[in-house]
Amino acid sequence: MSAHPAAFTPCCYAVWYEYLAGINLRLKLAMDEMVVKLLPFDDAAIERLFEEYVSELRGDAQRLIGENAQRILNDILRHTEEADHRAHEYGDNLEQSVLLLDTSGADALRSVVTNLQADTQKMRTAMVDLQGNLTHSRQEIETLKRELEHARIEALTDPLTGALNRRGFEMQFSRLLVESQASSTEISLIMLDIDHFKKINDTHGHLFGDKVIRGIAEVLKANVKGKDAIARLGGEEFGVLLPETSLSGAQALADKIRQTVEKGRIRRQDGKGEVGGITVSLGVAELNRAEDTAAFLNRADKALYFSKENGRNRVSLAPQ
């Protein structure tokens, strides 16, 4: 890492950590390609890699939230400095008043007391203003936290189905993989593809195709539980992560999903009847302790395409 020109920043560390640890497949493929092409890992390249493959937020969301956070911090600093200035001013006036009390008569004493009362009221007002500003800043921070969580979820979610997108899938997979290795429990994966999806789009239109994709997602959501995770990986392809699930358990779930989809019917966009006969092909794999993430995904993907090449509407198991 030190041989490359990028500055050693938190983003740089995160990129190289995920690459060297092998926990981010898309990042690894992208960086391997850069190595082959002898492309430099400078600041611009690292920032692009971080935003595209590591960060949970889009670049524009990161910048907006960062700007808002900086503004809130600047406001807090300004209000605190104003209150501090008032406190020092009050302290100086108090010292001068004490000196006058030692040398002044009754009239001067009344003037000193009046001034002290006025300064005390100013100080109280400054403290009340500071408390109000801090309360407002706290509310803004809470709003910012909600916006950050919303942006994070949005960045990891497929807008059509509400399932995870590919980036969300990879991050969840990395977390579940670490948990599985730590607890020595099984983790299985179902890869699913809608059969003849192009024909569905060509015959019934893309809006109907979107309904089919949403319908498949709803079937998957209805059949998972706990830490299970569903993702739309792109187009008509889905992935289902099943922690604490053996190969046989994943196979049974995959076949249940297959049968549910096959029996389902989806209403046409024009309201004139329903369309049935939609089917899916599935591939199932259980993680081997000796394999990395890429090998695991590749075995599940090969099982999926075995199903598609051997009649579709079936479940195939990846060899262990």
Evaluate whether residue 22 is within a structural domain.
yes
Evaluate whether residue 4 is within a structural domain.
no
Domain boundary among 99, 132, 156: 156
Query: What mean pLDDT is reported for the chain?
Result: 79
Distance CA 150, CA 144 (A): 10
Nearest to residue 171, comparing CAs of 57, 250, 91, 29?
57
Same-domain check for residues 311 and 188: yes
Same-domain check for residues 279 and 233: yes
Structural domains in the chain (count): 3
User: Which residues, including other chains, have CB under 8 Å from residue 310's CB and lie 6 or more apart?
Assistant: 316
Domain boundary among 100, 131, 156: 156
Which of the residues are catalytic? 236
Burial class (CB in 10 A: 0-12, 13-18, 19+), 89: middle
Same-domain check for residues 80 and 192: no
Distance CA 114, CA 97 (A): 10
Same-domain check for residues 175 and 301: yes
Task: Kindly list the strands in the beta sheet with 187-194, ordered across the sheet, starting from the edge strand earlier in the chain.
Answer: 229-234, 237-243, 187-194, 280-286, 315-317
- pLDDT tens digit sequence for 74-88: 666 666 667 666 666
Same-domain check for residues 141 and 185: no
Same-domain check for residues 171 and 292: yes
Among 24-28, 66-70, 171-175, which range has the highest average pLDDT? 171-175
Same-domain check for residues 188 and 299: yes
- Residue 178 sits in a domain whose CATH number is 3.30.70.270
Tokens of 7: 């500055």
Distance CA 188, CA 76 (A): 49
Same-domain check for residues 172 and 224: yes
Question: Which domain does 20 fall in, by range?
Answer: 10-55
Distance CA 42, CA 29 (A): 18
Same-domain check for residues 295 and 308: yes
* Radius of gyration in angstroms for the set of CA atoms belonging to the chain, rounded to a whole number: 31
- pLDDT tens digit sequence for 72-128: 666 666 666 676 666 666 666 666 665 655 555 556 656 655 666 676 677 667 666
